[in-house]
Amino acid sequence: MGYSNPENKPWAQQKIIELSPTTVLDVGAGQGTYLNLIREGLGAGVIVNAVEVWQPYIDQFSLANRYDKLFNMDVREIINFKYDLVILGDILEHMSESDAVNLWSKISKEAKYAMISIPIVHYHQGAINENPYEVHVEEDWTVERVLEKFSHIVEHKKFEVTGTFIAEFNNGNS
């Protein structure tokens, strides 16, 4: 699929502009939605790297030509999260809760900020176009559950289908 619900994107873009990061890691790049938001809001001066596990998306959306650096791997294998902002755009529901919490723990030790976008209603999804990474492993996230499981969240907004959450960590890395 490579796409996500657009309802939260204007708010997410405004928050990204307010954070004014100089380095960003876009996790689950898909079609590059967050890259577009960053370029429209902050221009080309921001270094934006991406993680995309599904090689066909990299080819279909020309991701290697659009990001400063692209990692074709599972984000759970990444060892460096020293970015001003890590964006987890509709990916945490594609892994177990324990994997999501472990990933968050790694990010919280190195990033300055993180943004989560996640369905906050029961949202069943299977493989799409033979992509097994599109399967929703955890289908029942709620605002309360996100706030309970992921530390350092300083702001969030609930939309009809998605929730967007901003975390601030005590890391000066960029």
Which pair of tokens denotes residue 105? 């723990």
Give the pLDDT mean for 101-119: 95
Beta bridge partners of 87: 26, 115
Give the pLDDT mean for 112-126: 75
Which pair of tokens denotes residue 1? 């699929």
pTM, rounded to two decimals: 0.87
Largest CA distance in the chain: 40
Q: What is the dihedral of CA 34, 118, 98, 27, to 10 degrees?
A: -10
- pLDDT-based confidence at residue 157 (cuts at 50, 70, 90): very high
Beta bridge partners of 113: 85, 168
pLDDT in tens, 46-85: 999 999 987 888 998 899 999 999 999 988 888 889 999 9
pLDDT score of 120: 84
Contact in structure between 141 and 38 (CB atoms under 8 Å): no
Beta bridge partners of 89: 117
